[in-house]
Amino acid sequence: MPNIKKIQKKLSKEYGDKVQVTFENDIIRLTGELDNWDDVFAACSMAATKNSKIHVVNDIKFTGDKIPPMRVPSLVDTTLEGKTPDVLVIGGGISGCAIARELSKWNIDVMLIEKNADFAMGASGANDGEVHVGFDLSKGSLKQKYVLLGNHMYDKLCSDLSVPFRREGQYALFTQSWLFLPVLFFCIWRKYHDGVTDTHFLTRRKILKAEPTFDRRIRFGVYNHSAGVVCPYGLTIAYAENAVENGAEAYLNTAVLSIDTDDNGVITAVNTNRGTIKPKIVVNAAGVFADDIAEMANDRFYSIHPRRGTNSIQDRKSAKIIDTIASVQHIDLKQQSKSHTKGGGLMRTVHDNILAGPDAVECYAKEDTATHPESIKVTYDKQKGTVPLASERDIITYFTGVRAPTFEEDFVIEWGRNCGNLFHCGGIQSPGLTAAPAFALDIEMMIVERLSKMMTVEKKTKWQPKRQAVPVLKDMSPAKRAALIAKNPDYGVIICRCEEISKGEIIDALNRPLCPPTVDAIKKRIRPGMGRCQGGFCSPLVTKIIAEHEHCTLSDVKKSSAEAVICYGETKGGDTE
């Protein structure tokens, strides 16, 4: 039971009469008006208790700017009109795709919808791909529970789904000697209290011997060997593909516009731009929009505060500077910093690029994935202290994702409090990628249990957990490669010179289930355009291959969404558009 008077006192001290707090139905609701988003965030954070199940709901009117509405695809049709799936999963990020895949074990109709033109277009796509060990998390939170479980699942999962994954280990590095004892005690506490058993406390000498590229100013560090790296969008797409291969339905460009509930608070219909769906159970895995979906179902008992983070990717040429995950930690006692993972870490990705980041910036626009020069600066200022050879000059690209935390900074994984057939999988942020495989299994069981009360639910006899990926020819032996080319000569035609991707692989990707015929979708799946020329050479060629495969004109091929036109049609003669 939160002390509302105390909270109001703190708020009044800071913001006068601009912000009010009430407590009703187990919800701490903040109302009022503020014109600065940092103040909105600070006010709500003031009222929140970390990891609490009693959430802060932010109803403070932000007057500083217009908050952009959710972007909705231009597509309007009736494809989904009247469909009655047993389970409707909203959101094609790592959570939604993992849940759909686990549910596909059962003889139930599972439908996955995603409003963007592809899967993994939110935080799952702009993720750094770290598989965490949970070293920074304390017992009692859902994050901590699922990160430990999820981490252990990764080897088998990625082998089943043919997704690149490596356990590379992770270093937390310290330059301040006075932290030696506190960190040592912290390690022991984590090990015996929180179950993070693979922690090693290392001296400077040992670290620099193992990792000669690290900054010489390091005094000591903590190493967790079970930390890993995965291709985050690769895993998300693999989950979606495997779900569909096992009978689930999945629809892109499908946004939830409103939800109808009956007098008992039960969802009767979900209205989308592609028709009205009447599911038995709805799973809310809508990422940054999870609270908006909850609101539509009259079940908003938490708020998401968007927090963007930018990652930079370096040319593979610089891969040798680090082959693990590392970040230098600096504790400033004077500065009571509430910042989360500022400046992020440095790691080698599964594709042998160096990734630096992410930073963390609170923002009000949930889909604001624009990048800013300060992000790169913050990240590199910090990461040069991890590995001095890290250099902005080796950057080939950078991108921003928006995290979806609640003010309590824990996951929300539970049935609706007001809405009987809505399951919330909200507040999923770092280490959401690591945790998703584990919480998807729990959610699967909770949904099956609930569904069993409404219908007969049985396991499929022929569930196929293994997914075949598009072959990666550049990693094959010459003999194996030659054998594949003999079968399909297109495997011998290299289209992307930086990543060595053949025409055959591009056509394979287009033939996979759920692959939108766009340049970005191909890039995400098999990487043409991910290299140092960033598609300069290959994007026209990929565009042409897609057009041939889809029997459409070149100008019909898009970068991602329907509006992301690449070319406006023929320069002359004939083409009248």
Partner 1 sequence: MIRTCDVLVIGGGPAGLAAAIAADKEGAKVILIERESRLGGILKQCIHDGFGLVRFKEKLSGPEYAERFIDEFKSRGIEAKTLTFVTSVERISTGFKATVVSREGVEVIETKSLILATGCRERTSKQVFIHGTRPSGVFTAGTAQHFTNLLGQLPTKRCVILGSGDIGLIMARRLTLEGAKVLGVYEVKPTPSGLTRNIHQCLNDFDIPLHLSHTVTRVFGQDRLEAVEVAKVDDKMRAIPGTEEIIECDALILSVGLIPENEIAETLEVQIDGRTKGPRCDASLMTTVPGIFSCGNALHVNDLVDYVSESGETAGKNAAHFALGTERVLVDIKPNENILYIVPQTLDINKKNDDVVVYFRSKEVFNKATFRIIADGKIVFEKKYAFLRPPEMEKIVADFSKFNLREYSKITAEVEVDAK
Partner 2 sequence: MNLVCITCPRGCTVNIEKVGDDWKVSGNSCNKGREFAINEMTKPMRTICSTVKTTFSDAPVLPCRVSADIPKDKIFDVMKEINKVVVDKPIGRGDVIIKNALDLGVDVISTSDLLSQI
Sketch the per residue contact string, 298 through 317, with partner 1: x for CB under 8 A, - otherwise.
Answer: -------------------x
* Site membership for partner 2, residue 571 (CB under 8 A): yes
Rule CB under 8 A: choose which of 210, 445, 454, 565 binds partner 1.
565
- When CB distances are held under 5 to 8 angstroms depending on the partner's kind, the choice from partner 2, partner 1, none that residue 370 binds is partner 1
Torsion of CA 550, 556, 558, 561, to 10 degrees: -100
- When CB distances are held under 5 to 8 angstroms depending on the partner's kind, the choice from partner 2, partner 1, none that residue 539 binds is partner 1
Angle at 115 between CA 301 and CA 291, to 5 degrees: 10
For partner 2, which stretch binds (CB under 8 A), given 130-138, 282-290, 457-465, 568-576? Answer: 568-576
Q: DSSP string spanning 324-352?
A: SEEEEE---SSS----SSTT-EEEE-TTS
Point out the catalytic residue in the list 55, 132, 340, 351. Answer: 132
Amino acid identity of 536? G
Rule CB under 8 A: choose which of 13, 25, 478, 576 binds partner 1.
478
Residue 272 in contact with residue 77, Cβ under 8 Å?
A: no
Rule CB under 8 A: choose which of 477, 573, 576, 577 binds partner 2.
573
Whole-number Å distance between alpha carbons of 223 and 155: 19
Q: Provide the sign of the torsion angle of the four alpha carbons 479, 524, 146, 135, taken in this order.
A: positive
- When CB distances are held under 5 to 8 angstroms depending on the partner's kind, the choice from partner 1, partner 2, none that residue 186 binds is none
Taking the complex as a whole, the smallest distance from the CB of residue 325 to partner 1 amounts, in Å, to 23
Rule CB under 8 A: choose which of 500, 517, 548, 549 binds partner 1.
500
Is 132 catalytic? The answer is: yes
Q: DSSP string spanning 257-292?
A: EEEEE-TTS-EEEEEETTEEE--SEEEE--GGGHHH
Which is nearer to partner 2, 18 or 549 (by Cβ)? 549
Taking the complex as a whole, the smallest distance from the CB of residue 503 to partner 2 amounts, in Å, to 14
- When CB distances are held under 5 to 8 angstroms depending on the partner's kind, the choice from partner 1, partner 2, none that residue 141 binds is none
For 315, the 3-state DSSP assignment is coil
Taking the complex as a whole, the smallest distance from the CB of residue 576 to partner 1 amounts, in Å, to 13
Taking the complex as a whole, the smallest distance from the CB of residue 517 to partner 1 amounts, in Å, to 15
Read off the DSSP letter of residue 66.
P
514: left (phi over 0), alpha (psi -120 to 50) or beta: left
* Site membership for partner 2, residue 572 (CB under 8 A): yes
Sketch the per residue contact string, 511 through 550, with partner 2: x for CB under 8 A, - otherwise.
Answer: ----------------------------------------
* Site membership for partner 2, residue 77 (CB under 8 A): no
* Site membership for partner 2, residue 551 (CB under 8 A): no
Which is nearer to partner 2, 257 or 566 (by Cβ)? 566
Determine the length of the chain. Answer: 577
Which is nearer to partner 2, 20 or 555 (by Cβ)? 555
* Site membership for partner 1, residue 539 (CB under 8 A): yes
Q: Are strands 281-284 and 87-90 parallel, antiparallel or unpaired?
A: parallel
Residue 2 in contact with residue 54, Cβ under 8 Å?
A: yes
Taking the complex as a whole, the smallest distance from the CB of residue 550 to partner 2 amounts, in Å, to 14
The token pair that represents 289 in the structure block: 């929009």
To which H or E segment does residue 61 belong? strand 55-62
Report the chain's C-alpha Rg in angstroms.
24
Cβ partners under 8 Å of residue 384, min gap 6: 215, 390
The token pair that represents 154 in the structure block: 């990764």
Give every strand in the sheet of 412-415, ordered side by side.
Answer: 249-251, 110-113, 87-90, 281-284, 422-426, 412-415
* Site membership for partner 1, residue 397 (CB under 8 A): yes
Residue with tokens 């094609």: 92
Cross-strand bridge partners of residue 501: 496
- When CB distances are held under 5 to 8 angstroms depending on the partner's kind, the choice from partner 1, partner 2, none that residue 144 binds is none
Residues with a known catalytic role:
132
Q: Which residues lie near partner 1 (CB under 8 A)?
A: 71, 317, 367, 369-373, 376, 392, 395-399, 473-474, 478-479, 481-482, 485-486, 489-490, 492-494, 497, 500, 502, 532-537, 539-540, 543-544, 554-555, 558-572
Q: Which residues lie near partner 2 (CB under 8 A)?
A: 570-574
